[in-house]
């Protein structure tokens, strides 16, 4: 795997204005386009462990979704369809027509929505511990959908606590004690919510896909449509946020799909097992032909999962 220095060089953020909003993104490499879509309360930084290796073979585009990372956080819609439109417009602005779309967690739901809204632009679909494939989801996320949760959250997630946590992590690292990649991802998600605008966007997006009973959206009944699209499903067997049973159910409903379950890995296979993740993804792309599907009728623009 590349050194920390090479990772930092390739992960330097850029930004572009899309429909009046600043969208931050990271791009590297040459060749067929990989569009990497992060999860809820995440950012494109989540791909830092795999982006340098992937950039040796592909043009890798990793945006910060609106409401996340260094992108703008407008008072706007944060539905799957809205995120998908932004990704389409970003690719247009970068002069990229088609891509293999890779989505992790919430990003998986967005990737499926992208394939549904713009099939002519999607060459392959890769779902990584994806949302939108069943009701079950972590109890904490369900609890955060309760009325008033957003007003209580600032008490346990403040800039002072975030800064103290970052300082403690730095001290521990200097002493040779490093947290796991999964812990780092969880901390970055938590720390991002110390910002009021990020927190507002998070709760708006959360309630679009999750309610107290679980995931409120599901693509299971429409997954048969993905049969025309080369599809890879990657899942960590020890995922405590979204159960691995969702991966198995999706694989059974998508004829010709490929399923890779990583033992000993949780919700972030691309961080916890980056070498294996890159190898699986590269092999999948090499062994499949990009789809060439017709454009979908514009008469229906609602989210795939509703």
Q: How confident is the model at residue 3 (pLDDT cuts 50, 70, 90)?
A: low
**What DSSP designation does 117 have?**
H
Catalytic residue among 239, 246, 257, 305: 239
What value does the mean pLDDT take over residues 56-82?
97
Phi, psi (rounded to 5 degrees) for 139: -60, -35
**Residue 166 pLDDT exceeds 70:** no
Is 262 a member of any domain? yes
Kindly report, residue by residue over 101-128, the tens digit of the pLDDT.
Answer: 999 999 999 999 999 999 999 999 999 9
Q: Which residues contact 263 (CB under 8 A, 6 or more apart)?
A: 237, 238
What value does the mean pLDDT take over residues 75-94?
96
What is the predicted pLDDT for the residue at 4? 55
Kindly report, residue by residue over 30-47, the tens digit of the pLDDT.
Answer: 999 999 999 999 999 999
Nearest 10 degrees: CA dihedral of 56, 61, 65, 66?
Answer: 140
Residue 76's CATH number:
3.40.50.1820
Catalytic residue among 68, 267, 270, 305: 267
What is the predicted pLDDT for the residue at 7? 54
- Of 97-111, 159-173, 232-246, which range is least confident? 159-173
Q: Which residue in this structure is represented by tokens 């090479």? A: 6
239 catalytic residue (yes or no): yes
Is 48 a member of any domain? yes
What is the predicted pLDDT for the residue at 158? 60
* Euclidean distance between CA atoms 130 and 185, whole angstroms: 16
Q: How confident is the model at residue 169 (pLDDT cuts 50, 70, 90)?
A: very low
Is 171 a member of any domain? no
Kindly report, residue by residue over 198-216, the tens digit of the pLDDT.
Answer: 999 999 999 999 999 999 9
**Residue 234 pLDDT exceeds 50:** yes
Q: How confident is the model at residue 190 (pLDDT cuts 50, 70, 90)?
A: confident
Is 291 a member of any domain? no
Q: Which residues contact 252 (CB under 8 A, 6 or more apart)?
A: none
Q: What is the mean pLDDT of the chain?
A: 89
Whole-prediction pTM: 0.91
Residues of the domain holding 28 = 4-136+216-286
- Residues above pLDDT 70, as percent of the chain: 86
Catalytic residue among 43, 71, 79, 105: 105
Nearest to 119 by CA among 306, 305, 251, 298: 298
Is 191 a member of any domain? no
* Euclidean distance between CA atoms 33 and 185, whole angstroms: 25
Judge contact between 305 and 109, C-beta under 8 A: yes
Is 141 a member of any domain? no
Looking at the structure of the chain, the number of domains it has is 1
- Residues above pLDDT 90, as percent of the chain: 73
What value does the mean pLDDT take over residues 252-271?
96
Is 194 a member of any domain? no
What is the predicted pLDDT for the residue at 78? 96
What value does the mean pLDDT take over residues 149-158?
73
What value does the mean pLDDT take over residues 290-306?
70
What is the predicted pLDDT for the residue at 161? 54
Nearest to 106 by CA among 8, 279, 242: 242
Q: DSSP letters of 144-202?
A: TTSTTHHHHGGGTS-HHHHHHHHHHHHHHHHTT----HHHHHHHHHHHHTTSHHHHHHH
């Amino acid at each position: 795997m590349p050194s920390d220095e090479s990772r930092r060089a390739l992960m330097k953020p850029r930004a572009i204005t899309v429909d009046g909003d600043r969208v931050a993104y990271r791009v590297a490499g040459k060749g067929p386009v990989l569009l990497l879509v992060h999860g809820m309360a995440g950012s494109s930084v989540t791909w830092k462990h795999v982006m340098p290796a992937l950039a040796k073979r592909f043009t890798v585009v990793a945006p910060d979704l609106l409401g996340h990372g260094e992108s703008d956080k407008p008072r706007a819609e944060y539905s799957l369809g809205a995120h998908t439109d932004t990704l389409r417009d970003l690719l247009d602005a970068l002069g990229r027509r088609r891509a293999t779309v890779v989505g992790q967690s919430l990003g998986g739901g967005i990737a499926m929505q992208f394939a549904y809204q713009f099939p002519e632009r999607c060459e392959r679909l890769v779902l990584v511990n994806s949302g939108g494939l069943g009701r079950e989801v972590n109890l904490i996320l369900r609890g955060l959908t309760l009325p008033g949760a957003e007003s209580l959250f600032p008490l346990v997630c403040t800039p002072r606590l975030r800064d103290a946590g970052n300082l403690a992590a730095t001290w521990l690292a200097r002493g040779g004690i490093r947290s796991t990649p999964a812990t780092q991802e969880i901390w970055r998600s938590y720390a991002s919510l110390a910002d009021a605008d990020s927190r507002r966007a998070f709760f708006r997006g959360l309630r679009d896909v999750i309610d107290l009973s679980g995931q409120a959206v599901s693509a299971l009944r429409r997954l048969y449509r993905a049969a025309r699209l080369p599809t890879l499903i990657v899942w960590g067997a020890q995922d405590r946020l979204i159960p691995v049973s969702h991966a198995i159910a999706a694989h059974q409903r998508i004829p010709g799909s490929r399923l890779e379950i990583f033992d000993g890995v949780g919700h972030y296979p691309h961080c916890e097992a980056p070498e294996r993740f890159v190898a699986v993804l590269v092999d999948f792309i090499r062994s499949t032909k990009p789809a060439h599907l017709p454009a979908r009728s514009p008469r229906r623009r609602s989210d795939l999962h509703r």
